[in-house]
A and B are shown apart, each in its own frame.
Chain A
Amino acid sequence: MSLASLSVNTLKPRLKEIKLSFYLLNRNKLTKLSLVIVVLLLLIAVFAPLIVPYPGHVRGETHPQDKLLAPSGTYFFGTDELGRDIFSRVLFGTRISVETAVVAVVIALLIGVPLGAIAGTMGGFLDELIMRITDVFLSFPPLLLAIAIAAFLGPSLQNAMLAIAISWWPWYTRLVRGQAVSIRERQFVKAARAIGTSPRKIIFNHVVPNCIAPVIVQASMDLGGVILTISSLSFLGLGAQAPIPEWGLMVSTSRQYFLDAWWYSIFPGLAIFITVLVFNLLGDGLREILDPKTRKL
């Protein structure tokens, strides 16, 4: 059988699978809704500088005479302790949170997935070694890692992102390894090995693509988790620094004022909640759609 006819034969069923996925997606109302909101968030993140009503307030301009004003027509979400528009800052915060989360997760994936694939496919001593290292990192409280990095490199959003990526990759390694262990026993992998395909090609062309589904699900849910963690770190002063409009930092600052300025805590907190929620719902829904066991009509 030639390669060309092979690909044609695999294309049709593949298309059918994709069509099935979309159909299931359509049926599941909650997932559809969360997908729409995620897309909306991504759009806001990309176009934030163009759509915020007060672009200066996002960068560091201060108007202390307008401090802590209640929500109104001029300031939809009110103003903060230095007179900055909270609505603009929350919108811009979308960009910061999404960007940071995506970068952190991508870094974690780039480290974790190959390690897990190698460990699962090769087995033996390499497998044990990688898994033990993974265990060490897993046992490390992520907070302490973030503190160490912040103390060493200085507290900043980038360093918090780095810290999170370093504490997150073990999960993907474990996930992928588990998958890889079962996949390496499959016929097509054995066949590839039999014809002498190099281990690198086996891992990256055969094993990884077949493990990727649960990883995607996990990653999309982790986007939400990372946003929560970053906001917790900023809350402690280990992440974003003033005057960056990061949601966690805003909620942290609002602690001192929320008894009289409820809007300051509510809106950034709500933003965190909704964003994390839709990412989680999306991931949940994706899992149901992609998992062959629950993939029923």
Chain B
Amino acid sequence: MILGKGDAAMKRSVWKRCSAPFFILFSVSFLLFLGCGANPTKGGGNKEPTIAIYAYYAEPVLDWDPSVEFSNGIIVMNNMYETLLRYDPENDKFEPVLATDYSKSPDSLSWTFKIRRGVKFHDGTDLNADAVKYSIDRTISLGKGAGYIWGAVKEIHVVDDYTVRFDLKYPAPLDLVASCGYAAFIVSPTAVKTHPAGWLSQGNDAGSGPYMLQSFKMGQEVVLTRFDGYWRGWEGKHYDKVVFQKIAETATRRQMIEKGDASFTLELPYEDVNALKSNSNVAIYVGPSLQNLMLYFNMAKKPLDNKLVRQALSFAFPYQDVVKYAGGNASLSRGAIPVGLWGHGDGLPQYSYDLEKAKSLLAQAGYPNGGIKLLVTYSSGDEAEKKSVELYKSELAKINVDLEIRAMPWASQWELAKGDSQGRQDIFEMYWWPDIASPYSWLFNLFHSEDTPNYNFSYMKDPAFDKLIDQGNESSGIDRRTATQEFITAQKMLIDQAAAIFAYDKKDVFITNRTFKGFKDNPVYPNVVFFYDTYKE
């Protein structure tokens, strides 16, 4: 024994000495907690401002330049900046925002917009036709982000102080372009010109929208505050401040909504949404989104270069299970365009889950006993994508096809798809949502031939298809019906080729605290909340 028996004194002193630090710790924290409720220094003010908190799952803004930002940042930009028009897909109408009216020439090569009077930018200058020309010219010349949507524009004329005319190289639906949620914002020329290049990207505000940038922590949070000189005025109930926060954990977002620490959130697993339906503190909005999930077959690599194999695999996909258990609130896709957008073809053929057909097609293709190995990649962290491929894997196992699943961050997944052609994946799982509200966005980006792959992960190269959709785009500027026909025919080609599995059309599910009122979803502006229309109750 190290210590003798008579060490009671030592033991007592050990206790005394050991407890000393504890006491110090406790008394300090006790005193500090006593300081609660004591004199708050400055701040506060008379009336507490109403704050809306949007709990977002990723970085709120990637680039502060509205002509460049092509990602999540639109949820912030659409409250700081404004576009000429806003598109309502439900009624297929355009709402005037910064443009009060517009018209086009019969050949659709010339579009004239009348600009609203009395609008001021956050820096106090007036918004007029010059500002519009400057903003769009700047977006086009920068050529970053979604700037390409203005590709049809040849020249912009300032007809008079409040009239702008766009002359186009070929017919294009300029009203759809001008109402795009990306790269169609009008910025204050004074603000941009009086500062060095890159001023906007560093985190500055040159908008005309209802909210101004108050502060931000890059990649973490953004705080917007009311712009008193907003042209619509502030009568009625509105939020004083809007905060966007990055909260990556779904469980955290859910608990914040339940307790009222957040007003608005999205992307919760449908199990949570179902559980929240019975919670009186929470209101849930479900509506069509313009996002759909697709799995692209690598048509440039064996064995998926064989149409029969692709078709067989399309029959092996458990559509109903995926829609129900992975998509949750989703609906089965028909063709490449999601329901809710013009160009969606309800009557288009769709493969169904039929293992017998799959087996016989495989036999026809020369694989009577299966024996194929495939690699599928998906975006890591996305639970719905993960479940879809897991369900698919277990079905494919039944026809002796071995599916290897790999979760990768988007950047890596993309790199793999663009890299060495033998090393690429066989199946690429991805969502798509539109830049401009036209089927051309899907068909061009996802299936138009590419010399170097960008988003065409079927690696499809079909000149007939290319020609058809280009034609459709031009028609969409002239006559919507012709365009719809052309796009539907193009989709039929895709389905026949089995270029991809069209899994499901996602539904927008937004979860809000019951005090958050006035919200209406517009799927053309994905995940955007126009906070001006909302208020606290």
Contacts and interface: CB of A to CB of B under 8 A. Distances in A.
- Within the complex, are A and B direct neighbours (CB within 8 Å)? yes
B408 A255 contact: no
Interface in A117-156: 151, 154-156
Interface in B414-461: none
B397 interface: yes
Given A68-B271, A256-B251, A242 B389 contact: yes
Given A60-B397, A242-B390, A243-B393, A82 B250 contact: no
B138 interface: no
Interface in B358-393: 380-381, 383, 386-387, 389-391, 393
Contacts of B324: 64
B277 interface: no
A64 B397 contact: no
Nearest to B392: A62
Interface of A: 60-62, 64, 67-68, 81-82, 151, 154-156, 237, 241-243, 253, 255-261
A81 B328 CA distance: 12
B381 A237 contact: yes
Contacts of A154: 406, 408
Contact of B406 (A81, A155, A243, A260): A155
A32 B408 CA distance: 43
Dominant secondary structure at the B interface: helix
Given A68-B271, A155-B380, A241-B405, 8 more contacts: A62-B390, A151-B412, A154-B406, A241-B406, A243-B390, A256-B269, A256-B272, A256-B383
Interface in B247-299: 249-251, 254-255, 269, 271-272, 275
Contacts of A260: 271-272, 275
Contact of B386 (A151, A156, A242): A242
B128 to A, nearest CB: 50
A232 to B, nearest CB: 15
A64 B321 contact: yes
Contacts of B269: 256-257
Contacts of A237: 380-381, 407-409
B318 to A, nearest CB: 9
Contacts of B387: 64, 81-82
Interface in B223-261: 249-251, 254-255
Contact of A60 (B251, B394, B408): B394
Given A64-B391, A260-B272, A242 B321 contact: no
B243 to A, nearest CB: 24
A257 B412 CA distance: 27
Given A257-B271, A260-B271, A64 B383 contact: no
